[in-house]
Every structure is written in C-alpha cells, then in structure tokens.
Amino acid sequence: MSVVSRGTVRIATERCKGCELCIPACKPNVLRMSTRRNGQGLAYPELLPGCTGCNACLLVCPDFCFEVYHFDEPVIHDVVLRESTR
C-alpha cells in the first residue's frame, strides 16, 4: 500500500516532556510515542509516513518541540502492512 506525505516535522526530542498532547492532535494519526527515551528519561513522539504538514502538532505542543516543513511535491511511500501475530 502507498502513503502520501505532503510535509514532515523536526522534533526537538530533548525538550519533550512526554505529555502526549500531540498524539491525538495529529488527525492523520502519524505521530506515535517512541519506545526510546530522551535525556530526561521521557518518551517522545516519532513520525510515521503520511504527514500533511497541517501544523496541528506545532500549535498544540506546550514546549514548542515541532518545526513543520511542507514539500513542494507530495512524496509517496510504499508501506508494508504487517499482520498481528496475536
């Protein structure tokens, strides 16, 4: 299956306090909390393919962790869906 990205984000993970407000704010549902931790020992978001560059994450984050970039042309990703083993 293919997923289109119209933008991307840069995330200042060291500033993130792990509040997770950005996760439901992202309507395309392309942010998820990482299993990795920053220097404060806190989980931070990571980006999956499909960002629209909508700025919602930038607007909701209380710690100004996001920079949003818009692509001139959409980028198409081929995504492999894995079935759950359970």
Q: Please tell me the count of residues contacting ligand SF4 according to CB under 6 A.
A: 29
Nearer to ligand SF4, 9 or 84 (CB): 9
Contact of 75 with 7, CB cutoff 8 Å: no
Tell me if 1 contacts ligand SF4 by CB under 6 A.
Answer: no
* DSSP state letter for 41: S
Per-residue mark of binding to ligand SF4, 9-38 (x: CB under 6 A): x------xxxxxxx--xx-x-xx-------
Contact of 79 with 23, CB cutoff 8 Å: no
Burial class (CB in 10 A: 0-12, 13-18, 19+), 50: middle
What residue ranges bind ligand SF4 (CB under 6 A)? 7, 9, 16-22, 25-26, 28, 30-31, 44-45, 47, 51-57, 60-61, 63, 65, 68
